[in-house]
Amino acid sequence: MKKTKQKQKQIKKHTENQEEEITEQQHNIHTYLYKFRFLNREHIQTLLNHKSRTYVIDWLNDLTKRKYLKRYYTEKMKLAGLPAIYSLWLKGRKYLKKLRDKEGHKEFKLSQLNRVYREHTTSMAFKIKCMSVAEIYLSLMRLTKNSNANLNFFTKVDLKGMKYLIRPEPDAYFAIEEKDKNIKRYFLDLVDIYLPQDDLEARIRRYINYFKKDYWQDNTGHPFPEIIMIVSNNSLKTSLNNFIAERLDEELVGMNFYLSTRQEIKQQGINRQVLHKVE
């Protein structure tokens, strides 16, 4: 009887260890979902730089089954032939929190891990916005690879808690270092489709005040980043261009705005051809 109980205990422990096992690629999936919040299967496969669709699906199915990830796949998505969307879920949060608390991975901020409890309540528009940031990152990766440049890319999640940064934080901040060591820095805002015009104009004024007060320049020692704003349509791009142009003056030398639409970015990726400078 005693041996039977001991054997059952060993079996239970072995099962628990199997339950907690995370492969290197599954770990990478966690870190990407922490950074971007929502990704579909195609994004994840590209980020992992993995050729096998089958392997990626197996890893995602395993993590979803074990409640490390949450899967979003509606009948409408299925009929449209769209891939499933994923976010971190309860055990995924626990896994990253353990890395933070016991292995010193402070890049996983507790405030951002706690949002995992609410991820499933976000709108589809928000999920699409998060995935758009990932698509821009992937586009920049291709661009910098082709030009032998180096890319440093930080999402809103990465920027949380950063001192002297405009609030609310941009959707991303990135820097591109060219072969000649010249570095260009950018703030990226993806304008919400239903954001009122007044709120959008207030965001522009906030950027202008932030530039004038030299918070960034004084505390980082770097030139002020160029601002990229991606809007939903050409009509809004035109009105926003006019609003910004009216406010650019000699006091704002060194402050540059670039505008584009989501459609342009989706079709061509992010590059100088689709970024229209406000002048």
What phi and psi values does residue 189 have, to the nearest 5 degrees?
Answer: -120, 120
Q: Tell me, rounded to whole angstroms, the distance of Cα 116 from its chain centroid.
A: 15
Q: What is the CATH code of the structural domain delimited by 2-122?
A: 1.10.10.10
Q: Tell me, rounded to whole angstroms, the distance of Cα 266 from its chain centroid.
A: 16
Q: Residue ranges of the domains in the chain?
A: 2-122, 126-277
Q: pLDDT tens digits, the chain, 279 residues: what are they? A: 544 444 444 434 433 454 579 999 999 999 999 999 999 999 999 999 999 999 999 999 999 999 999 999 999 999 999 999 999 999 999 999 999 999 999 999 999 999 999 999 999 999 999 999 999 999 999 999 999 999 999 999 999 999 999 999 999 999 999 999 999 999 999 999 889 999 999 999 999 999 999 999 999 999 999 999 999 999 999 999 999 999 998 789 999 999 999 999 999 999 999 999 999
